Amino acid sequence: MVQKSGKQRYFIIEGNIGAGKSTFLKMLKQYLNIQAVVEPHEQWQNIGDGHNILEKFYMDPKRWAYTFQSYAFVSRVMNQQAHARINPYAIQVLERSVFSDRYCFAENAYELGYMNALEWKLYKEWFSWLVDTYMSQPEGFIYLKTKPEICYERLRKRSRHEEATVSLEYISKLHDKHEKWLIAKEGVAPALKDVPVLVLDCDSEFENNRAEQERHVQDVGAFLMQHIPGDIHRSPISPIST
């Protein structure tokens, strides 16, 4: 966890399931001088003794939503801490965060009946205390805004077996949550309301599109340098090898 007294400064890539966050972060790492912190989904898929908490959540969300969201929080914090120990002065860029867990996934789970009222109350109380007590706010959010239908199509194409039960309706609800949180900033903690948000249109495929890559890297590079002094570019953008 990045503590308030620490020197670690970080940005967060946010977006729906299938928005392209992993690919986007990999691209940024290639061209920008950042410390990339990937989402610990491999840890969720194997937490020991053959347990796959991500699969359990999707197979039986009413039983496992609170357990999964609690572990997602802890594993994200552990993951970020581990990277911070390697280089506490690096500019971190995280793939998702505890904030999207709270304002999108956990809230959505409660509204869908996957968490009961007591679980939701407990989650909000310990989340608020931990974040307010120990975490510094991010320098900015990078929102990969993508239409739900496109996210759903990408999700089907990558074919993770844990996500086999994910519906377009579920993706659409998460899209609305991201919009409410990052664009309208409704119901957001006061400390987060002033955090700047860079909104990128990611409907177009960018993994093998040099023009789209160049546009995104330039936008993100300018956004980071607006809040972090110095040149953060690692290398110029070059044509994609074939």
Q: How far apart are CA 57 and CA 69, in angstroms?
A: 9
Contacts of 202 (CB under 8 A, 6+ apart): 15, 19, 20, 24, 144, 145, 146, 216
Q: What radius of gyration do the chain's Cα atoms show? A: 18
Q: How many CA atoms within 13 Å lie on the side-chain side of 205?
A: 6
* Catalytic annotation, pick one of 14, 39, 55, 95: 95
| Residue 69 · residue 61 · CB < 8 Å | no
Q: How far apart are CA 143 and CA 13, in angstroms?
A: 6
The answer to whether 13 and 70 have CB atoms below 8 angstroms apart is no
Sheet of 35-37: strands edge to edge?
35-37, 91-95, 9-14, 140-145, 197-201
Tell me if residue 95 is catalytic: yes
Residue 56: CB atoms within 10 A of its CB come to 18
Distance from C-alpha of 34 to C-alpha of 204, rounded to nearest angstrom:
24
| Type of residue at 189 | A
Q: Which of 153, 124, 220 is nearest to 16 (CA)?
A: 153
Indicate which residues carry an active-site annotation: 95
